[in-house]
Amino acid sequence: MAKRTKEDAQETRERILDAAIEVFDQRGVSRPSLSEIAELAGVTRGAVYGHFQNKTDLFSALADRIQLPDESLCQAPQQSCDPLGELRTRWLFLYRELMANEQLRRIFTIILMRCEWVPENGEINQRCAQGHAEGTVRLRNLIENAVSVGQLPADLDIQVVVPVIHAGILGLLQEWLMNTEAFNIAEVGARHVEAMIEMLQTSRHLCKQAVHA
């Protein structure tokens, strides 16, 4: 009986999360109430609070179903012998998964396009900012490793490179999520990956010496 009760509670939690995906995707994050999510999930508002402290806690649980863009791309070992290969593999994996996994795609849409930067979303925005900051550190470590093993120029300006990479990744994701029928992100993403890596390897404008050129 105890096992069934635990399974029932987990099923209820997952049903609430599924309902939250639907509501947040359709109406954004700031406007809907937990009552709307409870109604769609077929549970009481009290049941929602039995699993989640507030909307921020619910949003964090959704984000935990996936890894945020910065988190998913930079989990390679910091001292990998092929850091660019690791980055390439994880980059391509992300784009392929977005094509194949509808739930992943919808959660990314919520995080990147439905999460309004308004005061009432303060804690939720903080969660996104924290993921971005942690991803920045991991990405910096990976790029530094690529420089140390000779895959990237020794005078690469990492202060400039990291935001350029972020802009490339998030820009392509948002462009595709606005109209997923416009192009195949797995195919375009494969070319995007190679173009970005080639840019890191060859662009003099990303090197420190460019400042004095």
Which pLDDT belongs to residue 56? 87
Of the pLDDT bands very low, low, confident and very high (cuts 50, 70, 90), residue 147 is: very high
pTM of the model: 0.80
| pLDDT tens digits for range 91-134 | 898 899 999 999 999 998 998 888 877 676 777 788 778 878 88
Q: What is the pLDDT of residues 10-62, one digit of tens each?
A: 899 999 999 999 999 999 988 899 999 999 999 999 999 999 999 989 988 88
Average pLDDT over residues 161-167: 91
* Predicted pLDDT of residue 184: 96
Name the band, by pLDDT with cuts 50, 70 and 90, for residue 4: low
pLDDT category, 1, cuts 50, 70, 90? very low
139-145 long-range Cβ contacts below 8 angstroms, 24+ apart: 139/70, 139/73, 139/74, 139/165, 139/166, 141/74, 141/78, 142/74, 142/76, 142/78, 142/80, 142/83, 142/86, 142/87, 143/83, 143/200, 145/78, 145/79, 145/80, 145/83
Q: What is the pLDDT of residue 60?
A: 86
In this structure, are residues 52 and 91 in contact, taking their beta carbons and an 8 Å threshold? no
